[in-house]
Amino acid sequence: MGLYDTIVFPTPIPCEKCGKAIESTQTKAFGNFLKTYHIGDVIETPLVSGVLKESLYCDTCHNLEQFVYVVIFKGILIAIEKDEAAAHRAMHQFGKGDLYLFYIDLYKEKEEWRRKFRSLETLLESYIDYLKMSEDERSRLDSHPLGALQFFNIKECLEHTEIVAILECLLQKGSRGEGIFL
Ligand SMILES: [Zn+2]
């Protein structure tokens, strides 16, 4: 069984036949690591710069006779175009200004992950302290509205047995703005 990597489009591309919005395509041209790539990501591929033609599969009408052009500049996924000429233009016009914008986006993403990690670390540390408390201390904290709220998410997420599922649950709660600490 062959492995694929997934390339996610910055905006969905409508199927030429039925109009269904297609959000991504799969490729075997990269490292086949089952990775998911977005614009601005560094691709693990021997192809340093170039334009790749990939078929675009529609899972509604099963049309395979349409293509996208994936543009890679010095190992960075810089554009996805429906039109081959536009893909080559994107490759030749890519400059320092575009690279700067990618850098700013990545920097923001890095800061967001750093913040999430610190929040998780703080939450887990205080939860460990909570677990170490005596029964009396714990019930005193639980009876306080803020105290009970403090570990509400982690208690709910601990119903999941796998650590990855717990983390995903906490991150989801954080991204929906429900998180107390995440
Ligand atoms: Zn279709």
- The pLDDT score that the predictor gives to residue 180 is 56
Q: Collect the ranges in the chain with pLDDT lower than 70.
A: 1-2, 159-161, 164, 175, 177-182
Residue-wise over 18-56: b if at least 16 C-beta within 10 A, else e?
A: eeeebebbebebbeeeeeebebbbebebeeeeebbebeb
- The pLDDT score that the predictor gives to residue 182 is 55
CA of 5 to the centre of ligand 1 (A): 21
CA of 14 to the centre of ligand 1 (A): 8
Distance, CA of 103 to CA of 95 (rounded, Å): 13
pLDDT, tens digit (0-9, with 9 covering 90-100), for 45-80: 777 899 999 999 999 999 889 999 999 999 999 999
What are the residues facing 25 on neighbouring strands?
7
CA of 56 to the centre of ligand 1 (A): 10
- The pLDDT score that the predictor gives to residue 179 is 58
CA of 65 to the centre of ligand 1 (A): 10
Task: Report pTM.
Answer: 0.71
CA of 147 to the centre of ligand 1 (A): 52
